[in-house]
Amino acid sequence: MSIIIGFPRIGEHRELKKALESYWSKQSTQSELQNTALELRTKHWGYQKDLDCVSVNDFSLYDNMLDLAYALGAIPERFRQYKGLELYFGMARGLKDSVACEMTKWFNTNYHYVVPELSKTDTYKIDASKIESEYAQAKSLGFKPKINLIGLFTFAALSKITDNASFEEIFAKLQVAYFELLDTLKKLDTQPLIQFEEPIFCKGKDERFYGKIKDVYNQIAAKGFKTIVTTYFEHSTEATEILCQTNIDGLGLDFVYGEKNFSSLNTIAKSGKTLYAGLIDGRNIWVADLSKKLETLEKIAQTLPKDKIIPSTSCSLLHTPFSKDSEVKMDKEILSWLSFAREKIDELKLLEAAFKGKLNAAEQQKWEENIATNANRKTSDKINDKATQDRFKQPLKTQRDSTFKERIKLQHKTLGYPILPTTTIGSFPQTPELRALRLRFKKGEIDTNTYEKGIQDYIKDCVAFQEEVGLDVLVHGEPERNDMVEYFGEQLKGFVFSQNGWVQSYGSRCVKPPIIFGDVSRPKPMTLKWITYAQSLTSKILKGMLTGPVTILNWSFVRDDLPRSEVCKQIALGISDEIDDLQKAGIHVIQVDEAAFKEGYPLRQENIKDYEKWALCCFKISTSLAASTTQIHTHMCYSEFNDIIKTIEDMDADVISIETARSGNELLKIFAKVGYSNEVGPGVYDIHSPRVPSKEEIKAQIKRLLEVLPKEQLWINPDCGLKTRKWEEVKPSLKNLVEATKEIRG
C-alpha cells in the first residue's frame, strides 16, 4: 500500500488554465469548463490507479480553501446575491463593485490560497455537491476514493475574521457547519476514507485551539469514517501527541521537511495507529535516493509494525510540475536527476515494492538505475565547479567599508539630489509589442540586431519620458526581462530551465521556476550592456536594477545536496560581481530587489533566527563591494513589517522602498517607532489598480508621510514596479507624482 497526498490539477499542458481563461472571457460555456475538469480528473486518477486509493477533491477550479468556504456556505455578505460559478469565481476574482477576497501564500510555498472571510453574522448553508460528484465519478471508474479535505483547525486559523467576533465564537459556529458537511459526506459510502489536512499543526502550539484538537477529532472519528490526519511542511510533534490519544485511524507525517517527526514514533506505535510516512519530496523536483528512503522506512519499522507503515509523499504534488516527458531540450544528464509529479508516483510504487521485499525483475532494474543516477549526480562536473568552491576557501566580505552615516553624506554630496527625490521601482509597461519582440527572438524568427534595436528603442523612449516628466533618478525600464528571477537565472551558471515545468501559483496563474542544479557563478556581466546604454542617453542619475540572492533562491527549485544557505551565498557572490562591474562603469545607484525575502521564513519560530542570519548575510555579501559613494536601494513588497523590521535595519541598504499605498501610514510608523535611520521610499500610489491618482491625492499622501518621517529621510515613488500597467496609466500618474512633489518642496 502507498498513497499520495494530492496531485497537480492544472494539467500536463495547462489545460485547466486555458479552459478557465476561455470561460472567464465568455469564449466557452460552463459545461465545456466542467467537461475539461472531468477529463483532467479522470486522467489524473489513472496515474494513481496502482496506489491504495486515488485523491478526490484535491482537484479545484481555483483553490481548495475557496472550495471549502463554498461547501460550508461561508460566503462574505457582498457576494450572497450571486450563485454557482459566478459566486465561486467572484470570491476569487471580484465582481462589479464586490472586491475579491484576499489571497496569500500557502504557508512557505509559492502557492496562493483565497483567504475565507468569517463573521458572527454568517449563516452557513452546506453544499457538498462538488465532493459528492467527484466521489461518484471516481467510484464509477473503478477507483477507490480518498476524500481530501482541509482540516477544521487549518481552515479556521487561516481565515480572516471581518468583525469584532472572537476566534472562539467563530470556531464554535464553524465547527457546527463543518460537522454538518461531514454528516452529508458520510452518506457517500459504508466507511468513506477522508484525509484531513492540518498543516497548521506544523507551526507549533496555537493556544486558540490546541485544547480542542482531541475532542474535535474524537467526534469526527465517531462519525464512522476511516480517518487520516495529515500534516506537512514541518514536524507536528505537539499535535501528534494529542492525535495519538484520539480514535482516528492514521497519521500522515512529513519526514522530508519534518525530521523531528521521528521523535513521535514511539507514541504512534503505542497508539496502534497507521503511519502514512511522507518520504517522497512533494515540494522539490529531484529524483529520490530510494536506497536512503528504504533505510528510513526500515528505521521506522524498528518501532512500528510494517503493516502499520504506508509510504506516502511529504505533501501534495501540487507544488511540482506534471511530468518530465515534455522536456526534450534539456541536457539529458540533468534531466535524469529530475522527478516531477508523475515520476514521483513511480518512485513511491518502487519504494513500496522494495519495502515489501517484492521487487520484480523490471523493478529491480529501475532500482539499480536509481542508484546509478544518484551516484552520477554526486560526482558530475556539471554540479561541481572548482572555481566557485575555491572562492569559498577565502573569507567572504559581508560588510561595506563605511557606516550609513558616513556613506549618506558622501552620496548626497556626489549625487546631488533635491529634498524628497523622485524615482520608480524599476520596471515600465511590458507592452504586447515588447512581449512579441522577445518571443520572436526566442523562437529565432528575428536576428540579434533586430531584437537589440527594438530593446534600444524602448529604452530610449522610456528614458526620454522620465526626463520629460522630471523624475530625479531614472531607470531603463527592464524591456529585456520577462521575469525578475528567470532573467538572471538564464545568465548564471548552475541554472537550467524547463520547457513545461509549470506549477500553479493561483487560479489560472502558473509559474515555471528556474532549477538550480549545481554550483552557481556569473560567467559574464548580466545587466551592464542595457544599463550603460540607458545611462549614455541622459546626464541624469540612472539606477541599475538587480534581483537579490534571497529572492532568486526562494523563487527557484533549489538543489537538495547543499544547504540552501550555501546556494544563496553562491548567488550572492554573482550579484556582488555585477554590482562591482556596474559601479566601475559609472552606475552609482543600484537597486537589489528582495521581493521574496520574507517568503523563505521557516514555519517554526525557533528556526527563524537562523534563516534571518544567513539570508541577511547573503544580502550583505551581494552589496559588500559597493563603494561608499554607490547608493544601494532595495525594494520589498509586504503588508507586514513588524516581525522583520530589525532584519531590515541590519540589511543596511541606503534606501528601502516599500508598499504602503494600501496600508495608510501604519506600515511607515513601524520604521519611525524603531528609529530607523536609513532612507525610505514609501509608495505614494497603488500600482495594482488601473486608476490614475490625482496630483492633489498624491500631495495629501506625501503630507501624511511627512507626519511620520522627516523630509530628509523620504523618497517619493510608486509602491511597486509598473510592468503590468499600461502607458496611458503610467504617464499621467508619474506626471502627477512629480508635480505633487515639486509643490510640496515649495
Contact 681, 716 (CB under 8 A): yes
Instruction: Annotate 272-322 with DSSP letters as a single string.
Output: T-EEEEEEE-SS--BPP-HHHHHHHHHHHTTTS-GGGEEEEESS-GGGS-S
**Type of residue at 176:** V
Please identify which of the residues 235, 476, 635, 688 carries the catalytic annotation: 688
**Beta-carbon count within 10 A of 446 CB:** 15
Contacts of 201 (CB under 8 A, 6+ apart): 153, 154, 231, 236, 238, 239, 240
Which residues are bridge partners to 714 per DSSP?
Answer: 680
At 403, list the grid cell. Answer: 557606516
Is 688 noted as a catalytic residue in this protein? yes
> Which burial class, exposed, middle or buried, applies to 202 when counting CB atoms under 10 A from its CB (0-12, 13-18, 19+)?
buried
**Could you tell me the end-to-end alpha-carbon distance of the chain, in angstroms, rounded to an integer?**
75
Give me the residue label for grid cell 494600501: 662
Instruction: Annotate 584-641 with DSSP letters as a single string.
Output: HTT--EEEEE-TTTGGG--SSHHHHHHHHHHHHHHHHHHHTT--TTSEEEEEE--S--
For residue 448, CA distances in Å to 51, 152, 708 come to: 51, 56, 50
At 306, list the grid cell. Answer: 510494517
Dist CA 571 CA 622 (whole Å): 8
User: DSSP secondary-structure letter at 141?
Assistant: T
Instruction: Annotate 505-552 with DSSP letters as a single string.
Output: EETTEEE---EEEEEEE-SS-SSHHHHHHHHHT-SSEEEEEEE-HHHH
Instruction: Annotate 27-56 with DSSP letters as a single string.
Output: SS-HHHHHHHHHHHHHHHHHHTTTSS-EEE
Q: 3-class SS at 133?
A: helix
User: DSSP secondary-structure letter at 149?
Assistant: E
Q: Comparing C-alpha atoms, which of 161, 176, 253, 172 is closest to residue 212?
A: 172
Dist CA 329 CA 228 (whole Å): 41
Q: 3-class SS at 112?
A: strand
At 679, list the grid cell. Answer: 532612507
Q: Comparing C-alpha atoms, which of 3, 604, 485 is closest to residue 275?
A: 3
Contact 105, 197 (CB under 8 A): no
Contact 552, 595 (CB under 8 A): no
Give me the residue label for grid cell 465568455: 26
**Type of residue at 343:** E
**Beta-carbon count within 10 A of 85 CB:** 15
Q: Which residues are catalytic?
A: 688
